[in-house]
Structure 1
Amino acid sequence: MVSEARSSLATKGWARFEVDAGLARWAEAAKAAALARMAEPAHRAEWLQCEGTWFVGVDTLPNDARGAVQGSGPLTGPGYDLARALYGELPLHAGQVSVTWPGYPRPRKDEDEAAFGYRLRRDAAHVDGLLPVGPSRARMLKERHAYILGLPLTEADPEASPLTVWEGSHEVMRAAFTEALAGIAPEDWGEVDLTDCYKAARRAVFETCPRVALPARPGEATLVHRLALHGVAPWQEGADAPPEGRMIAYFRPEFPGVDASWLKAP
């Protein structure tokens, strides 16, 4: 199982793990903690977007550096085990809690027609850590994540806005960024405008890499390569989920330094 998951992550850019009893218990506790935090007015005001169909939930989960929340022990499960085996014992940030409801997507606040069209047709596909900077919203590498670990917190139909990944896109992106950053010291990568490179690589991915939907249930886990192009699918008519919505907790710990690990690590 571990070797198959490691191979899938390397070749496809993602790996999925079956239900683990310990992780299912963690998910139950994390759901309760997330719902309590989501009910706070400040969090709702900041993160309830797309006309109430998406709670973005960055830094919403009140976990410690080992992933523990009130009522649970540290984060566990084979997905997290593989991530630690590949990238080391990186401290976990407060997890994102991404929640969608029927009708997703609606336009996000200040989202123009082109951006909303991209969200609707391409799942708002992106590579994490390339943040829009300045008035021109130039894409720059501001967060050097090691991996993306998705942990569902509610049961939902497969058509209820699942995570989507473009298989093999991590190697397309790696090649493009390697060329764009050639000759530049890794500590200076965060000041390079990668917009044109990024857009061209995305176009290549859409033309050559299959889009795969990765629905999952509590107790399962999805590990995604940090360079993989990924997004959130529109909610399909008739898809069912509890009133809490389709909830997924995400962890994206960052590499501790500014060396070349972001491009060179597995």
Structure 2
Amino acid sequence: MTGWHKIGTHPALLAWAKAAHPVAVAALRDTDQPLRCGGTWAVGLDLLPNGEDGEIAGVPLPWDVLGLAPVALHPAQLSTIHPGYPRPSAEETEPAFRFRLNRDAAHLDGLLPVGPDRLRMVKEPHAWIVGLPLTTSDAAPLVVWEGSHRIMQAALQAALAPHPPESWGDVDITAAYQAARAEVFRSCRRREVPGLPGEAVLLHRHLVHGVAPWAEGATAPPEGRVIAYFRPVMDSVQDWLLQD
């Protein structure tokens, strides 16, 4: 299993993307969330004012097309990339910038940096990740490492096994996570996954993924390359780690 799946253009997904696009552009224009990476990346957390069922501007999210059981959703993230991504910035160290540039800022969602030492802990145990492109663009595509979800799941299970399950969300897994990610780079295929409005990409919650740099000659509309992401949270870290 690769850990990801792309759904080709579907009329119901295209209708949703067309309805979401102007709302997303307005939300990105009006937000006070700062641009990162030298003004080339808008994180866009919880910016799309969709309903809990995914509906936007009267258009329902087609759960049947996605092949997912409906759950309560958060306002979608609007991950937006602008020309030149990534650029150095004051909020990012030189090693972190190089990792973003050379390794696509590869990461596992849900692991947050905690405390002054930025220890990685499972604080947002997402059930799955769905990306819905809102703009036509060949710039800065999503990047996945195929099969990486199996490596990450096994490594984190081993790291957390000595601890009581109820404490797993408070255990430092930095070393295990970094070692497993290094193994992913050695053994998993890196694949760029561009997308168009009307398509969708589904990621396993343990899949390592990132964003490719803006390539020379890549194009996007004035609002940038915009993808709406849904990542509903599971009830527990135990479910996140142990379920397939």
| Corresponding residue number in structure 2 for 1:48 | 35
| Corresponding residue number in structure 2 for 1:192 | 171
- Equivalents in 2 of 1:149, 1:107: separation in Å? 29
| Corresponding residue number in structure 1 for 2:27 | 37
1:260 aligned to 234, 238, 241, which one?
238
Decide whether the 8 Å contact of 1:26 with 1:75 is kept in 2.
yes
**Farther off after superposition, 144-153 or 239-248:** 239-248
- The gaps in structure 2 that reach 5 residues or longer are none
SS at match of 2:44: coil
- Equivalents in 1 of 2:181, 2:241: separation in Å? 17
Task: Give, as a single letter, the amino acid of the residue that structure 2 aligns with 1:58.
Answer: L
Task: Give, as a single letter, the amino acid of the residue that structure 1 aligns with 2:140.
Answer: S
Decide whether the 8 Å contact of 2:104 with 2:210 is kept in 1.
yes
- Equivalents in 1 of 2:241, 2:221: separation in Å? 39
- Equivalents in 1 of 2:97, 2:237: separation in Å? 35
1:174 aligned to 153, 168, 171, which one?
153
Aligned length, in residue pairs: 244
- The gaps in structure 1 that reach 5 residues or longer are 1-10
- Equivalents in 1 of 2:116, 2:172: separation in Å? 13
Which runs of structure 1 show a deviation greater than 2 angstroms over 4 or more consecutive aligned residues?
Answer: 77-80, 183-187
1:186-227 deviation digits (Å, cap 9, x = unpaired): 321111000000000010000000100000100000000110
Decide whether the 8 Å contact of 1:34 with 1:60 is kept in 2.
yes
**Percent same amino acid at aligned positions?**
52
Task: Give, as a single letter, the amino acid of the residue that structure 2 aligns with 1:14.
Answer: W
The Cα RMSD (Å) is 1.3
User: Does residue 122 of structure 1 match 2:100?
Assistant: no
TM-score, reference length from structure 1? 0.88
User: Does residue 64 of structure 1 match 2:62?
Assistant: no
Task: Give, as a single letter, the amino acid of the residue that structure 2 aligns with 1:150.
Answer: G
Task: Give, as a single letter, the amino acid of the residue that structure 2 aligns with 1:260.
Answer: Q
Decide whether the 8 Å contact of 1:17 with 1:78 is kept in 2.
no
Larger fraction in helix: 1
Structure 1 pair 25–108 and aligned structure 2 pair: CA distance change class (3 A): farther
Task: Give, as a single letter, the amino acid of the residue that structure 2 aligns with 1:97.
Answer: L
What is the CA-CA distance between 1:138 and the residue it aligns to? 0.2
Decide whether the 8 Å contact of 1:22 with 1:77 is kept in 2.
no
Structure 1 pair 78–16 and aligned structure 2 pair: CA distance change class (3 A): farther
